[in-house]
Amino acid sequence: MNEEQTKAATDRVSEVAAASAQRRASLIILLVAVIVGAGLRFYRLGGEELSRGEAAAWTAAVVPNLRAVYVASKELDPGKAGLYDLLLHLWIGLFGDDVGPMRTFSALLGTLMIPLVFLASREVWLVQDEDESDGGEATLFGAIAALLYACNLRMVTTDRTARMYTLMLVGITAQVFFFLRAARRPGPGNVIAAAACTVLAMASNVLALLFFAAEAVWIAIVWWAQRIRAGGSQINLSRPIVASVLAAAVFAPIGIADTRIAVGALHGGLWQSIEPQSFGWPLHAIRVMTGNAAFWPLLLTAAVGVWLSGIRNRPGLWFILCWLLVPFALIEVASYTVAPMMVERYVFPSLTAFLVLSALGIASLQSDFFRYGLTALILVQSIVHLVHHWRAPDDIQWREAAHFVADIATPGQKVAVLPPNEPLMVLHYYLPSDKRDLVIGAEARLDPTDRVWHLQCGPEPVLIVETAVPQESWPSIKACYPRLLRHFRLVDVRTR
C-alpha cells in the first residue's frame, strides 16, 4: 500500500470515527430533548384554568355518543372534521373530564412530537444526501431540531392544551417523514403512510391544508429545477405526488362539506373578532412564538442555515423554506382578500419549520464549540422564557368567577356574560350541572369595523366580563353595570 492509499484509508477511518461520535452525541441530545420536553409538558398540567378554546372542545366531547360529538363539533368549530373531539370523547370516557386528564392526551402527543421532529428533520437532510452510511450530520441536525422544539414556549403551551393543534402537528410531522422517505425509497409502504398522515392532519384541522400547499410548491420547484438540470441528481417525485393524490381522494368528501360549513360561518361573522395585522405580521408572529430573547439567536442560526446549505443541500433547504413561508403567505393573502386570519395558532407548522431551519444552521457549523454553545444558549433562553410565563400566570380565573356568582345568585336570577359565546362554555364547565342555566350571553353587538362590543342593558342584574375586551367597550359596560362586585385575574363581576 503506497503513501496515498494509506492516507486515504486513515482519513476514511477518521471520518467513520467522527460520524460514530456524532451519532452518539446526537442520541444523547435526543434523549435529553425527550426527557426535558416531557417534563415541561406534564409539569403541573392541570394547574392553569380551562381556556375558552378548551371549553369548546370539552362541550363537544362530553355529549353522549360519537355521532353527537361529530354534530356538536360542526356547530362549535365550523370547517373542521372534528377528529380531535371524537378522540377526546373516548379519552374522557376512560380518564374523566378534569382539566389535567384532558390535557394529558395533548401532552402525550406533544411528547411524541419530539422524536417525530427528529425523524422528519433527518429526512429533510437525507432527501439531498442519500448516503446514510455517513449520516452523522443528518442525525445531529434532527436531534438539535428536536431539542429546540422540546423547549420552545409556544410548543410547550400548545402541547399542554386540550385542543386539536398538537394532533394536527403530529399528523403533519409524521407526514413529512413518510413523504420525503417515499421520494428516496421505492415501495408502497411510505406512500400509504404519507397519505394516511395527510388525512390525519386534515381531519384534525383543515388549516393543515396550508402546509400541504407548501409541499405542492416544493414539488413544483424541485420538478422545475430537475428539468433545467437534466442529468444531475434526481429526486423521485412520483411517489410523493401519488401519496398526495390518494389523500385528497380519501378526504375530499369530508373536506368539501367542511369547506361549505366554513364559508357559511365566515359569512355569518364567526371570525369577525380577529383583528387585522400589518404586512410584517409573520416576523412579529415568529418573534412572539419563540420569545424575544431566543428569537435573535434563532434568526441568526436560521440565516446561517440558508447560507451554508444553499449549495449542497438545496432541495432540503427548499423544503424547509416552503414549510416556513407558504403558510404565512397564504394566511396573509386570505387576510387581505377575505377576512382577517393572522393568528399565531393558525401557523404552528411554520413555527416548527423555523426551529428546524435554525437547527439546520447550527448543525451546518463545523465547530463543535459553536454548535453546542449556540444550542445551549437558545435552550437556556427558551426555558427562562417558559419559567417567566409560569411565574406570571395569564389564565383567566373563570372558575373563581363561576363559584362567586353561583354563591350570590338568587333563585331564578340570570347572570349575563361578555363576550357572549365561548366564555359561556367555560362557565358551564365550572358550574354545578344544576346551575349551568344560571349564565347567559349578554345582549351585545360586536362592531366588525373597530372590534368594539356595544352592550345593551338587559334585565340581568349581574355581569361577568372578560377584562381583555377593547377599552372602547367599557363605557357601555359601565353604563349598564357601574359597580364592581369582585375582580379576578382577567375577569370582573359587575352589578348595577
Is the alpha carbon torsion for 439, 441, 444, 446 positive or negative? positive
| 455: β partners | 444
DSSP 68-116: HHHHHHHHHSTTS--HHHHHHHHHHHHH-S-HHHHHHHHHHHHHHHHHH
Residue that wins the pLDDT comparison between 80 and 159? 159
pLDDT at 377 over 80: yes
**Averaged pLDDT, 33-45:** 94
pLDDT at 11 over 80: no
Among residues 312, 397, 428, 436, which one has the least CA distance to residue 47?
Answer: 397
Among residues 289, 279, 283, which one has the least CA distance to residue 351?
Answer: 289
Residue 169 pLDDT class (50, 70, 90 cuts): very high
pLDDT at 35 over 80: yes
Residue 395 falls in which region: left (phi positive, over 0), alpha (psi -120 to 50) or beta? beta
Judged by DSSP in three states, 276 sits in: coil
| Amino acid 342: pLDDT | 85
| Amino acid 329: pLDDT | 93
Please state the pTM of the whole predicted model: 0.90
In angstroms, the Cα distances linking 15 to 3, 182, 308, 367 are 18, 29, 20, 15
**Averaged pLDDT, 439-452:** 84
| Amino acid 25: pLDDT | 85
Alpha-carbon distance 217 to 244, whole Å? Answer: 13
In angstroms, the Cα distances linking 70 to 88, 170, 206, 429 are 12, 21, 15, 20
| Amino acid 233: pLDDT | 59
Cell of residue 339, nine digits: 377576512
- For 452, phi then psi, to 5°, come to -100, 135
Torsion of CA 180, 186, 192, 193, to 10 degrees: -40
| Amino acid 16: pLDDT | 55
Alpha-carbon distance 336 to 174, whole Å? Answer: 32
| Amino acid 385: pLDDT | 82
How far does CA 92 lie from the centroid of its chain?
Answer: 22
> What are 197-217's pLDDT values in tens digits?
999 999 998 888 899 999 999
pLDDT at 435 over 80: yes
pLDDT at 432 over 80: yes
Cell of residue 405, nine digits: 356568582
| Amino acid 164: pLDDT | 93
pLDDT at 149 over 90: yes
- Residues near 411 by Cβ (< 8 Å), separated by ≥ 6? none
| Amino acid 133: pLDDT | 47
pLDDT at 134 over 70: no
For 451-489, b/e burial (b = at least 16 CB within 10 A) is: bbbebeeeebbbbbbbeebeeebeebbeebbeeeeeebe
- Residues near 49 by Cβ (< 8 Å), separated by ≥ 6? 99, 395, 396, 397, 398, 399, 426
pLDDT at 237 over 80: yes
Among residues 246, 235, 85, which one has the least CA distance to residue 175?
Answer: 246
Judged by DSSP in three states, 394 sits in: coil
Return the residue matching grid coordinates 417525530: 116
| Amino acid 422: pLDDT | 84
pLDDT at 71 over 90: no
Cell of residue 279, nine digits: 404586512
- Residues near 131 by Cβ (< 8 Å), separated by ≥ 6? none
pLDDT at 492 over 50: yes
pLDDT at 15 over 70: no
Helical packing angle, 83-95 and 52-61, nearest 10° = 80
How far does CA 121 lie from the centroid of its chain?
Answer: 17
Q: Are strands 483-488 and 444-446 parallel, antiparallel or unpaired?
A: unpaired
| 462: β partners | 415, 495
* Residue extents of the structural domains in the chain: 14-391, 398-495
- For 132, phi then psi, to 5°, come to -85, -10
Mean pLDDT of the chain: 87
What would you measure as the largest C-alpha separation in the chain, in angstroms? 99
Residue 173 pLDDT class (50, 70, 90 cuts): very high
| Amino acid 65: pLDDT | 92
| Amino acid 47: pLDDT | 86
| Amino acid 460: pLDDT | 92
| 417: β partners | 441, 464
